[in-house]
Amino acid sequence: MRPLVIFLLTALFSHISVAQSDYNVCSQALELCPNVPVSVTNIGANKTVCPGCEDDFNFCFTANNTIWFKFTTNALGGAVQLDFTNLVFQAGINLGTALQATMFSASLPCDPASYAAVGNCVTSGSTPFALSATLNPSTSYFVVVSGDLPAPGNSSPAECAFDLTLSGTGVDRAASSISISASNTAICPNELVTVSAGLSACPDSGTYQWFINDTLVAVTTDSIFQTSDFTEGDVLTVQNNCYAQCPVTVTSSGIVMSVYSLSVNAGADITIQPGESVQLNGSSSSTTFVWSPAFGVSDTNSLTPFVGPEVTTVYALTATENGCTLQDQVVVSVASPLFIPNTFSPDNDGTNDTWEIQGINIYTDCFVKIFDRWGQEVFQSVGYSSSKAWDGTHNGNALNEGVYFYIIELRDAKEQVFNGSITLVR
The enclosing domain of 384 has a CATH number of 2.60.40
The pLDDT, as a whole number, for residue 382 is: 96
In a domain, 2, yes or no: no
Give 231: exposed, middle or buried? Use CB within 10 Å, 0-12, 13-18, 19+: exposed
Taking 80 as the threshold, does the pLDDT of residue 16 lie above it? no
In a domain, 9, yes or no: no
CA 91 from chain center: how many Å?
Answer: 52
Residue 63 within a domain:
yes
pLDDT, one tens digit per residue, over 122-140 is 999 999 999 999 999 999 9
Backbone angles phi, psi at 218, to 5 degrees: -165, 155
Domain range for residue 229?
A: 177-259
334: pLDDT confidence band, cut at 50, 70 and 90?
Answer: confident
pLDDT-derived band at 120 (thresholds 50, 70, 90) equals very high
State whether the Cα torsion 295-297-298-303 is positive or negative: negative
User: How large is the average pLDDT for residues 228-255?
Assistant: 94
Name the pairing type of β-strands 367-371 and 402-409. antiparallel
Q: How far apart are CA 419 and CA 171, in angstroms?
A: 80
CB of 117 within 8 A of CB of 60? yes
Residue 1 reports pLDDT greater than 80: no
Contact between 54 and 26 (Cβ < 8 Å): yes
The reply to whether omega before 341 is within 30° of 0 (cis) is no
Residue from 140, 132, 128, 165 nearest 36 by CA: 165
Q: Which of 314, 322, 317, 384 is nearest to 354 (CA)?
A: 384
Domain for residue 159, yes or no?
yes
Residues 283 and 412 in one domain: no
Lowest mean pLDDT among 10-24, 197-211, 399-413: 10-24
Give just the sign of the alpha carbon dihedral 130, 133, 137, 140: negative
Q: Is residue 132 part of a domain?
A: yes
* Cα–Cα distance, 272 to 309 (Å, whole number): 9
- What is the Rg, in whole angstroms, of the alpha carbon atoms belonging to the chain? 42
Confidence (pLDDT) at 149: 87
pLDDT in tens, 150-207: 767 667 899 999 999 999 999 999 999 999 999 999 999 999 999 999 999 999 999 9
**Identity of the residue numbered 276:** E
Q: Is the separation of the CB atoms in 139 and 72 below 8 Å? A: yes
DSSP-based helix, strand, coil % in the chain, nearest 5:
5, 45, 50
Mean of the per-residue pLDDT values for the chain? Answer: 91
How far is the C-alpha of 124 from the C-alpha of 401, rounded, in Å?
107
Domain membership flag for residue 69 = yes
Q: Side chain identity at 303, as an amino acid letter?
A: L
The answer on 68 and 202 residing in a single domain is no
For residues 294 and 356, membership in a common domain is answered with: no
Give residue 300's region: left, alpha or beta (phi > 0; psi -120 to 50).
Answer: alpha
Q: Is the pLDDT of residue 28 over 80?
A: yes
Query: Could you say which of 217, 236, 259 is where a domain stops?
Result: 259
Q: Is there a single domain that holds both residue 290 and residue 401? A: no
Residue 270 binned pLDDT confidence (cut-offs 50, 70, 90): very high
95 and 123, same structural domain?
yes
Distance, in Å, from the CA atom of 328 to the CA atom of 312, rounded to the nearest integer, reads 17
Question: Above 50 in pLDDT, residue 9?
Answer: no
Residues 139 and 185 in one domain: no
**Non-local CB neighbours of 62 within 8 Å, separated by 6+ positions:** none
The answer to whether the CB of 33 falls within 8 A of the CB of 4 is yes
For the cut 80, the answer to whether the pLDDT of residue 64 exceeds it is yes
Contact present, 403 and 423 (Cβ < 8 Å): yes
1 located within any domain: no
End-to-end alpha-carbon separation of the chain, Å? 84
| Alpha carbons 303 and 51: distance in angstroms, whole number | 91
Q: Residue 4 pLDDT more than 50?
A: no
Return the pLDDT at 153: 60
Domain count, the chain: 4
Inter-residue contact 213 to 231 (CB < 8 Å): no
Check which CATH number belongs to the domain holding 208 and give it. Answer: 2.60.40.10
pLDDT at site 160: 95
d(C-alpha 55, C-alpha 68), whole Å = 10
- pLDDT confidence band for 10 (50 / 70 / 90): very low
14 pLDDT above the threshold of 60: no
State the Cα–Cα distance between residues 333 and 110, nearest whole angstrom. 77
Question: What is the C-alpha separation between 372 and 119, in angstroms, rounded?
Answer: 101
